[in-house]
């Protein structure tokens, strides 16, 4: 899957209008309704614990929490988006090398609605801070801090 380098420089004041956006450093939730017989759940992304949490409300006002998917490597998840099929795309933050001219790839994990790792998508740099899916559902937009770039990754 080729990455289109959309070199949009962004500032901390940029407001993204993407659907389901967690761009620019907000590790959030992507709420997924999984049908009437099973309650909706909201995967959460606690960064330094390197995992996705599944939170289920049953009965009303009572929440149950479990580990939905455990990641490894890097600092952990920094953003999350959901496609129409229920797959989650999770940006994983790590530090860029301090040495000039040295590069290190970043990682986006594609997780199934059942919590299984389906794919890892490499990005040109590792300080991934947010992700959203285009309104047409044909691309991911990923923000990266060390280069101040927004990458467009076709789906």
At residue 57 the predicted structure's pLDDT band, cuts being 50, 70 and 90, is: confident
At residue 44 the predicted structure's pLDDT band, cuts being 50, 70 and 90, is: low
- How many separate helices (H) and strands (E) can be counted in the chain? 0, 9
Judge contact between 108 and 90, C-beta under 8 A: yes
Query: Is omega for the bond preceding 59 within 30 degrees of 0, making it cis?
Result: yes
At residue 12 the predicted structure's pLDDT band, cuts being 50, 70 and 90, is: very low
Domain boundaries, the chain: 1-26+73-155
Closest among 45, 33, 137, 49 to 86, alpha carbons compared: 33
Query: Topology of 1-26+73-155 in CATH?
Result: Thrombin, subunit H (2.40.10)
Judge contact between 39 and 51, C-beta under 8 A: no
| Whether the predicted model's global pTM rises above the 0.85 cut | no
Q: ∠ at Cα 89 (124, 41), nearest 5°?
A: 160
List all residues 6 or more positions away from 38 whose beta carbon is below 8 Å from its beta carbon.
none
């Amino acid at each position: 899957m080729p990455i289109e380098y959309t070199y949009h420089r962004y500032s901390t004041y940029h407001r993204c209008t993407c659907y389901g956006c967690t761009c620019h450093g907000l590790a959030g939730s992507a709420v997924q309704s999984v049908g009437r017989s099973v309650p909706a759940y909201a995967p959460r992304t606690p960064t330094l614990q390197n995992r996705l949490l599944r939170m289920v409300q049953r009965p009303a006002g009572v929440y149950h929490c479990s580990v939905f998917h455990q990641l490894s490597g890097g600092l952990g998840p920094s953003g999350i988006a959901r496609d129409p099929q229920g797959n989650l795309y999770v940006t994983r933050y790590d530090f860029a090398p301090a040495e000039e001219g040295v590069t290190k790839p970043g990682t986006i994990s594609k997780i199934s609605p059942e919590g299984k790792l389906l794919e890892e998508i490499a990005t040109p740099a590792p300080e991934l801070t947010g992700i959203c899916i285009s309104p047409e559902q044909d691309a991911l937009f990923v923000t990266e801090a060390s280069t101040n770039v927004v990458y467009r990754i076709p789906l």
